[in-house]
């Protein structure tokens, strides 16, 4: 290939470029800082630079100019793109949001320059026009005498506004969980998070878990419509709430990113999720879906866009894709294990070169479901238990306890194992069977409740009734932790790695933040040797949704995950049952 | 460049191809017949062929396979694409419609093959999904056990249908004129035209001419909405009427093409046309506009598409682009002159290498407007006049006359010039001034009517009142024909050609069909030396709209005309006034 030399002023940098390459590509590849808000379509004219030829200067667009000879170019001084901090976990992104604004002062129309309005704003012919923008255009462009702000979403012009409105650019990132919806309002001009809102998922009234929601939606078109409308109107309320909090308008919000599990995302898009719940568990769509906010009745700027994260499989959704993005597993050389424990446990293992995922039907035990005294990790939940010479526990918000959270359950069982009250097979010993010295100290807590052998954590409760763990609860817990542990095992085998090869175990979600990792390892939820490598990363789906909103490139990386991540279906996996059974014991 | 040899079986053709080129490109460039219904995206899998390697055969898609070595390929036998006849003028097109259907029997979903539905139908990941199609998909794909028909519009999947519906594929082409709307229902499977419908443009109640419509629409949002809704609901009525005529359903119609003048197209798209009527006469959009039928409330298949022809300038619209396409001016080596005479006269001159267009404010004289006894070319209109020893005229539909049509006016004035009753400057002589022998025979028809000197064509009329041409009518006519003649002159000058270089003069529209070309040349409407080269081509805009509907490539050629055709603005042209004045005389 023919190469040309390019000298870049004012810094006098010399680079070389292949003949016939666009300057845009050359600059990006050589790390020369330059912005292309319209994606290099030539519309925004922001990548102007000068070609110096002796005493003469010629202004060209970097995105449209091909290198054909040795060049001296002069690039204008600009502010640097800045890194923005996204969460407490120090996750950063380069600010380059999914929607961008560019202000243009256009030459007014004259008989000599009588280009059509669309041609005038795009600067070229043949750019695909959006009907709504065309309908707005003639009035808007004249209101401010041909000074307009173009709003871009990737390479598309999604809106045209009178005058310079570049200072007003907001977006919202949503994590739509089965139980909770969380929304984050971001200033896309600065990258700052300026409001956080959340609420219970209003679909909860149709059932607490995903399957009952799917069943309701499957019964009739109305069922689907109800579920869809519930979620859309709640998202709209959260948008309203967030913008009111900081005093901007919902019209100032131009983009929304959404990350949820596969069923939630189907319902959000009003796509029938029926077949997700029936073998072979097929989603309708896994790739990213980008749509006009108006098409789905999301009340932001009427020209705004909604970006839905890709699903990976029927039970590994956009929330997992967003979590992978948040954890930067797709760009890391280090082998990482991501576990998001909820009703299902989604598990992802891999590096930038290869990512494997599976979903285990862990059941709701970790969220307190199907546990006699279980409850979500809310005020009054016992979240930690420590049994030694003293019997200690902590309660969320330090109130009188009313139940036990998933993290408390993990702790309690780990402690009961330690003091020999629960044996390796998960059997709760009868008081007289307890041999361990420390265990004997607490054996009077082992009593029969409603015909089931149970261990009482406390009698000192809100209701006066004891909070306890029954033999049945321990069995339920074993099924849940066995499923997760088997999932991890199968991913490790498929990857050809051993537990000790894992450099980091990342626990996503609230449960991961409360969990005592030592206990988790003791009960076999996480391979024991990984205790020191484990950390909670909070609401990773929400962080991923924010990363995608703040950075087009990050969203595009996220969008590729549905192709990149290899899904392993456990329900048909030939080894699953055997491994699962092996993992039931402690 | 590295070249490879390709032998094509069963015909044993040998071609050569550059390394790294897609087979699709190689086959098209070498004229090997092959269909790519999905536009070469790999989705429809219709371009399967076999690569022969010794005893082995490998099936590949021509659109996705790159030539890397010498090849022997075997292509399946197929029906040839056929030419279809579009109108009486023998205009043909290769049938390759703007929407296409492909039937696919897909492997059913299993736990082993658990691709998402969208991936299953597209055969690949990462294809951009359309929300409405996704919403239809899970039900439809299972209704027929994974045998589905995909509907493509260019490279986009616009619909998915259960089972094999490939036999059902209709489209409608519309010519939306200021006065009349004409619609043509075409079977896109066979290329046949199966119904023709037309009606008066219902906007007529807001004014007969474009300017009064624009003024109405400019007054308020409601004005624009009214005008838009009128045209949309009338188009919907015509669709209903056409499908009822042949007993199909409007859901069977998947595509609509629209060609109209710039103002009509703006109103059709609900784009404010206000600035078309004010200097510098700027349209909002000139390029093609393609939209979902639902977005503009056109009642065809709910997943159908509407394709609007590109405008060329404020007063040269999509109807002219369609007419250029119909007349194949953009592919011809021969210099052609296209004249579409209505309220405005649009004139186009050129060859495939260069096309020039202008619009002249001819006024409505050729449509009978502003002429004392003028009327449209309908029943009762005098359409031809011949004055010799006998005084003869013909009347449309052979009834008692009630007025004079544009073609009758041209004839009458040409004849009055011949017999010396009108002189070169357009003056109607007084009876005693007539010197010409033949003229003297008819000088008693020259009388004063309402204080204006007039020539009576007949007293034998429906109303009993005479039908005549007044001095004022002749002046009106001179302004109109002067404008057209000046437009032709300016285009010729800009092109650097002389009238005699023109190989064909094509008259579009009803007027062109009725017009006596000898008379048109005699009055100077068309340069005299072109009389024998002139012919009427009927409703060229309608023919162009049909060509675009039947052939994607033709529509794309049409779409390029807004870029290709150079518009010359006469109102600011430095020579226009002088040439116009020179052209007023006969």
Q: pLDDT tens digits for A348-403?
A: 999 999 999 999 987 788 888 889 999 988 899 999 999 999 999 999 999 999 99
A491-530 confidence digits (pLDDT tens): 999 999 999 999 999 999 878 888 999 999 999 999 999 9
- A283 at B interface, C-beta within 8 A: yes
Q: What is the model's pLDDT at position B236?
A: 98
Chain B residues lying within 8 Å of A116, measured CB to CB: 282-286, 311
pLDDT of residue B158: 95
Domain A98-162 identical in fold to domain A332-364+480-582: no
Distance in angstroms (rounded) separating the CA atoms of residues A458 and B257: 76
Measured between alpha carbons, how far is B243 from B228 in angstroms, rounded to an integer? 23
Which of A262-276, A511-525, B120-134, B546-560 is predicted least confidently?
B120-134
Q: Exposure of A398 by Cβ count < 10 A (0-12 exposed, 13-18 middle, 19+ buried)?
A: exposed
Partner B contacted by A200 (CB < 8 A):
no
For A253-269, how does the pLDDT look when each residue is reduced to its tens digit (9 = 90+)? 999 999 999 999 999 99
Q: Mean pLDDT throughout B16-32?
A: 86
Sign of CA dihedral A402, A408, A413, A419: negative
What's the confidence (pLDDT) of residue A80?
A: 57
* Residue B112 forms contact with A (CB below 8 Å): yes
Section B59-81 average pLDDT: 83
C-alpha B570/C-alpha B359 separation (Å) is 7
**HSE, side-chain direction, 13 A CA sphere, residue A78:** 15
Q: Chain-centre distance of CA B252, in angstroms? A: 23
* CATH classification code of A170-320: 3.30.420.480
Asked if A287 and B139 come within 8 Å (Cβ–Cβ), the reply is no
pLDDT score recorded for residue A81? 62
- pLDDT value at residue B584: 94
Which of chain B's residues have a Cβ under 8 Å away from the Cβ of A313? 114, 116
Does the pLDDT of residue B79 top 60, yes or no? no
Domain ranges of chain B: 3-74, 98-162, 332-364+479-582, 365-476
3-state DSSP assignment of residue B420: coil
- Calculate mean pLDDT across residues B523-541: 93
By Cβ distance, the residue of B126, B135, B269 closest to A287 is: B126
Is residue B476 pLDDT above 90, yes or no?
A: yes
Paired residues of B448 in beta bridges: B453
pLDDT tens digits along B338-378: 999 877 789 999 999 999 999 998 778 888 888 999 998 88
Do residue A285 and residue B117 have CB atoms under 8 angstroms apart?
yes
Question: B13 at the A interface (CB within 8 A)?
Answer: no
Taking phi first (over 0 means left), then psi (-120 to 50 degrees means alpha), and beta for anything else, what does residue B15 get? beta
Which residues on neighbouring strands pair with residue B458, listed in sequence order? B467
Smallest CA–CA distance from B313 into chain A, residue: A116
Beta strands in A287-351 (DSSP E): 289-292, 305-308, 336-341, 345-351
Residue B284 touches partner A, C-beta closer than 8 Å? yes
**Average pLDDT of the residues in A544-552:** 96
**Range A10-19 contact pairs with CB under 8 angstroms and sequence separation of 24 or more:** A10/A74, A10/A75, A10/A77, A17/A67, A18/A67, A19/A67, A19/A68
Q: Does B294 touch chain A (CB under 8 A)?
A: no
Question: What are A317-331's pLDDT values in tens digits?
Answer: 999 999 999 999 999
From the list A168, A512, A115, the residue with the least C-alpha distance to A345 is A512
Contact A432, A439 (CB under 8 A): no
Q: Do B287 and A111 touch (CB under 8 A)?
A: no
Q: How confident is the model at residue B233 (pLDDT cuts 50, 70, 90)?
A: very high
Pick the residue from chain A with its C-alpha nearest to B311: A116
| CA distances in angstroms from A562 to A320, A351, B488, listed in the order given | 10, 15, 60
Region B98-162: CATH code = 3.10.20.880
The pLDDT of residue A511: 81
* Across B128-153, average pLDDT: 94
In this model, does residue A238 exceed pLDDT 80?
Answer: yes
**Residue A289 phi, psi (nearest 5):** -125, 125
Report the share of chain A in percent with pLDDT over 70: 99
Element (H, E) at A118: helix A117-122
Fold of B332-364+479-582: Nucleotidyltransferase; domain 5 (3.30.420)
Partners of residue B145 in chain A, C-beta under 8 Å = none
Are the beta carbons of A314 and B283 separated by less than 8 Å? no
Which pLDDT value is given to residue A79? Answer: 57
Q: Is B225 on the interface with A (CB under 8 A)?
A: no
Domain A3-74 has CATH 3.40.30.10: no
Residues of B in contact with A114 (CB under 8 A): 280-282, 313-314, 567, 569
Average pLDDT, chain B: 92
What is the complex's ipTM, to 2 decimals?
0.88
Is B127 touching A (CB cutoff 8 A)?
Answer: yes
Q: Which fold has domain A332-364+480-582?
A: Nucleotidyltransferase; domain 5 (3.30.420)
Given a cut of 70, whether residue B576 has pLDDT beyond it is yes
């Amino acid at each position: 290939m023919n190469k040309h030399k390019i000298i870049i002023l004012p810094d006098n940098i010399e680079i070389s470029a292949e003949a016939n390459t666009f300057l845009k590509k050359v600059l990006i590849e050589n790390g020369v800082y330059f912005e292309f808000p319209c994606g290099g379509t030539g519309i925004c004219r922001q990548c102007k630079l000068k070609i110096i030829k002796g005493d003469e200067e010629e202004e060209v667009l970097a995105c449209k100019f091909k290198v054909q000879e040795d060049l001296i170019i002069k690039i204008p001084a600009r502010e640097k793109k800045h890194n923005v901090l996204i969460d407490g976990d120090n996750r950063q992104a380069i600010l380059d949001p999914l929607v961008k604004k560019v202000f243009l002062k256009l030459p007014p129309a004259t008989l000599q320059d009588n280009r059509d309005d669309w041609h005038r704003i795009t600067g070229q012919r043949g750019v695909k026009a959006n009907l709504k923008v065309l309908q707005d255009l003639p009035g808007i462009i004249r209101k401010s005498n041909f000074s307009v702000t173009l709003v871009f979403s990737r390479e598309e012009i999604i809106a045209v506004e009178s005058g310079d409105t570049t200072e007003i650019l907001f977006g919202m990132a949503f994590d739509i969980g089965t139980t909770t919806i969380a929304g984050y309002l971001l200033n896309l001009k600065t990258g700052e998070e300026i409001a956080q809102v959340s609420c219970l998922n209003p679909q909860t009234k149709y059932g607490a878990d995903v399957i009952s929601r799917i069943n309701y939606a499957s019964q009739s078109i109305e069922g689907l419509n109800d579920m869809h409308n519930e979620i859309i109107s709640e998202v709209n309320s959260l948008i309203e709430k967030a913008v009111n909090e900081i005093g901007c308008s919902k019209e100032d919000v131009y983009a929304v990113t959404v990350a949820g599990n596969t069923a939630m995302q189907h319902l959000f898009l009003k796509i029938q999720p029926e077949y997700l719940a029936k073998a072979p568990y097929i989603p309708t769509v896994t790739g990213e879906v980008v749509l006009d906010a108006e098409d789905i009745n999301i009340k932001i700027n009427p020209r705004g866009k909604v970006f839905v994260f890709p699903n990976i499989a029927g039970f590994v959704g956009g929330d997992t894709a967003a979590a992978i993005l948040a954890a930067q597993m797709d760009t890391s050389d280090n082998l990482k294990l991501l576990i998001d424990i909820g009703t299902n446990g989604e598990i992802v293992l891999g590096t930038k070169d290869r990512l494997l995922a599976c979903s285990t039907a862990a059941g709701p035990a970790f969220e307190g479901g199907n546990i006699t005294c279980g409850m979500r990790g809310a005020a009054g939940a016992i979240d930690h238990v420590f049994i030694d010479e003293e019997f200690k526990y902590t309660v969320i918000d330090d109130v009188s306890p009313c139940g036990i959270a998933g993290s408390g359950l993990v702790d309690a069982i780990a402690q009961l194992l330690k003091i020999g009250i629960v044996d390796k097979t998960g059997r709760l010993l009868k008081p007289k069977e307890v041999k361990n010295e420390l265990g004997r100290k607490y054996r009077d807590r082992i009593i029969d409740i409603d015909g089931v052998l149970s261990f009482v954590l406390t009698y000192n409760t809100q209701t006066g009734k004891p909070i306890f763990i029954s033999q049945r609860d321990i069995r339920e817990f074993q099924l849940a932790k066995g499923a997760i542990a088997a999932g991890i095992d199968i991913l490790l085998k498929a990857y050809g790695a051993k537990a000790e090869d894992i450099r980091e175990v990342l626990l996503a979600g609230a449960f991961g933040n409360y969990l005592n990792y030592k206990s988790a390892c003791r009960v076999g939820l996480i391979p024991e040797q990984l205790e020191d490598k484990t950390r909670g990363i909070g609401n990773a789906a929400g962080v991923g949704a924010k990363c995608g909103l703040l950075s087009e490139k990050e969203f595009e990386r996220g969008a590729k995950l549905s192709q990149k991540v290899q899904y392993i279906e456990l329900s048909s996996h030939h080894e699953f049952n055997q491994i699962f059974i092996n993992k039931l014991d402690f």
